[in-house]
Structure 1
Amino acid sequence: MSSAPRLRPLHRPLVWFTVSMAVFALVCLGGLFLDDRELAGAAIWAKPLKFALSFVAYCLTLAWMLSLLPGARARRAGWWAGTVLTVACAGEMALITTQVIRGRQSHFNVATPFDAALFGAMGGTVVILWLAALVIAVLLLRARILDRATAWAVRLSSLIALAGAALGFAMTRPTSGQLAQKDPSLIGAHSVGVPDGGPGLPLIGWSTTGGDLRIGHFFGMHALQLIPLLPLVLSALAPRFTRLADDRIRLRLILVASGFYAAVFALLTWQALRGRPLLSPDGTTLAAAGALTVATAFGTALALRVRQPKTGSPNSRIPETQPV
């Protein structure tokens, strides 16, 4: 009789950083009400609030995933990777907050030598964060953890999150307008086809007139939370739907869902790179979304199929008594 996996403590530095970001999010909310300054068309405390909330979800999930690693060697490597990632995240938030206090734009700002130095330091923290997340993803890929459905949900979500985080590097490329300037004050942009700071969705600020790479960045990184929830949902539904009690079917559904998530991430990124706003998709985007929906429905139907034993085969003969 197999025993349930032993619960291990969560990664303590990541947990404490998560708590600090939850508290800091409350500070940012206060800033939204008490500080009427705006930057690039948005309330100046909106950016640190978004980063704080994102780090709460991201780091707490990683702390849980690291607790799944078996073996002292893997857990030690995971602890160091998680600790390095925590330091990088803390550095990123400190730099963003410094610029908020100064009333200066944090990302892409090279207007003065000091602004450029801070932006360069932010780039360094992002590289360190990404590399630490890559180490964690490799550890999860190699580890045998829990049941197969949960294991692959954790592995695939960490890979998609890495791809989502990597979109941040694409945002640092200078736009054509910036290249045409002799001494640009900004290098890089969130938006594609339109300047940053234009009309956007409330609070999150995603452009409503052009493409926005933050959409794919956000969607990809938070695969880390959404995909691992699916095995829990499937297990909860298993008593009502007998097919879901089969671990092979749950695994197939996880693979289909992960493929769907990765494809939606690619579609959102492609739409942004073509300069199309999220809420105004063109015919090409709609056609791709329709094809993806059909393919996912077909894959789900195949995943739910139960193979019946062939008539006359030894497996099809049901004995009158079952051995104890």
Structure 2
Amino acid sequence: MTAPEPYAPAPQPAADDGPTSLVRAAIWVAIGALIAAALVCVVWVLIGGQNGIVGRAFLTILLLVGFAGATILDAHLAPRRPAWFALASMGVWIATLLIGAVMIWLPERYSWGGFSRFVQFLFIVLILQLVLLHVRLYLKAFQRYDTTFTRAVAIVTIILVVALAALLIVPLMLGEYLWFPDIYWRVTVAVAILAAVGTAIIPLVNVLFAPKKPRAAAPYPTPYAVAPVAPQLAAPSAPVADPASVAAPQELLPWPTYVDGATPLPMLPDGSPDWGAYYTGYPTPGAHVFGAPEPTAPQTDAAHPASSGYEGFPPPPPLPPRP
């Protein structure tokens, strides 16, 4: 027998699943967008006016820090998410960064424009995140019943939802400098109605045609185990070679005994306790008696015969047969 090598190489731990190549590419794109936004903001600082430059620079720093934190969080959550959702989330944060940089450094036309732009930017972030959540839940519902019809409805609905988000973001972003005619808002409402209809179709189709998951019926517990001997008198079983391969035994109720609490009741041929012997003291013909000799006649009290009870109640059961 050879001794183990004292300096044998230890087994290397399994490598942690890192982000996929697409997610890595998205992270590099996010880094490039961060650098580009920072350079654009620096150029505006150097060549722009002096009106509110300190406040805008502070907001720009907050925007860049928030974008970096969101990107790091997405990178940590990427292994737990589908690849398309990680890419979409990264793209949403890049669009948020660019929109925020433009809104911060765009010249103001009104004295109260700073606070108004901040509120509008929060609405833009909310719209983008709601669109991302909508697409995630909508595709989950679509995967339950994938057909040609539902696939076409899902593609058209996602396009309409993205278009609706763009139609809502543009006025919030450039509302100070652009005038939007009445037809623009009519188209926005029409797209919203179509997107709502497409969103409702997939869940309705799932309710009608999607296969349902079968429900497992709960097993009915048996009160006593059918065994050739009582549990108290059974011999211990041999040890199992592989305990992991044997299912856990069902928890059994204790075998009933006589009134003395020690002598087990006889067992009927069907495996159930002989409750008649509990009240009469005699085992039922054919019942299996555990260690009991020939039964004797039940003892009765002279003052209280066995046929009489107390105020109409049956008499107490006799003691089990004794040797």
TM-score (norm 2): 0.34
TM-score (norm 1): 0.34
Bigger relative contact order, structure 1 or 2 (CA pairs below 8 A, ≥6 apart)? 1
